[in-house]
Amino acid sequence: MAIARASCLYCGAELPPDRVPNPPSSADPLSPGGPLTPAVAPEEASPFPRVLIVVDLESARAETLGEALGVAAYEAELLARRGGFHLHRILGGELAEDEASRLRAEGLTVEMLPESEVRTRPLRAVGGDRGEGRLDLRTEEGPLTLRREELILIVRGPIARQYQPTYRRRRVDVASLDEGYRVHFHRQSHPRPVEIDAANFEFGVSVTGSTRLELDAWVDAIGAGVPCDDGFRRLPPAFGVAAPEPKGPLAAAATLSRTVRGREALGEGESVVLDNAAQFVFYSVWRAALERRRGAGGWTDATDPLEA
């Protein structure tokens, strides 16, 4: 049964009011919000009171995953075959502890990450060159040299991009947007990843002639021996494109205005480009947070994530 949500199922970000469907009437005892629906705990006062529950799929059997995660046999088989790590849920403190205990009782290995640990923005690099085991970058906040020995994880993935449809538009869009591609370099000493956007990066000397191939060559050069994660491309379509993040106060005000007035307020010919860059950042940062915890002494199953 589908349930109306006011936030993204994956990353927990608040959705615009016009994107949230009206919930069913509580008069129906079987509808969400009816008397047979379990009560939902109210939100805590802290901006990040919740915990990410991550399941290690590496040694899990499909039958166990199906029963523990409540998914169909086909989806459980895909998860078991994929391996790696799976973000199961984001819950409040006590609910998270109960859910983690239940999953462990089912025989699964679980990691818990405080949400505050994974809510960070990347440091964007706008240009640079590569050397032997290092990248000399120009970032939005100044020059930076990345060295192979300080990297703990590299995350890369495609960025889906599409136009948001408008009510006033009558013509059919025949041109499609090129798929984006981004790479995050995670350092042991800093929680912020260094981000390279293939479409917005000035390569000093390009050997391949293709930004995508050149960026992959950079990753191969500096990433020898460094774990590399490209699992974002396998996430379900439900975690696809969303409204772009406002770039400043005026942009934020304009976005809010559009939300209140509705899409019909967009002028003829005006296009809004949607992408899943924010979802990529969230995926990348929680993967790196998990890698830091494992590298610091293995799993932290017994640690209270709210005190970590």
Tokens of 222: 């500096």
Q: What is the pLDDT of residue 12?
A: 60
The number of beta carbons lying within 10 Å of the beta carbon of residue 181 is 17
Measured CA to CA, the distance from residue 154 to residue 125 in angstroms comes to 15
Beta carbons of 201 and 125 less than 8 angstroms apart: yes
Q: What is the pLDDT of residue 132?
A: 86
Q: What is the pLDDT of residue 52?
A: 94
Domains in the chain, ordered, with CATH?
Answer: 1-40 (no CATH), 49-117 (3.30.1390), 123-295 (no CATH)
Beta carbons of 110 and 55 less than 8 angstroms apart: yes
Q: What is the pLDDT of residue 131?
A: 86
Measured CA to CA, the distance from residue 297 to residue 44 in angstroms comes to 31
Q: What is the pLDDT of residue 228?
A: 93
Which portions of the chain are predicted below pLDDT 50? 1-2, 24-45, 238, 245-246, 248-252, 254-268, 297-308
Q: What is the pLDDT of residue 40?
A: 40
Query: CA 195, 278, 182 angle in degrees (round to 5)?
Result: 35
Tokens of 24: 């069913």
Measured CA to CA, the distance from residue 234 to residue 220 in angstroms comes to 21
Measured CA to CA, the distance from residue 305 to residue 48 in angstroms comes to 12
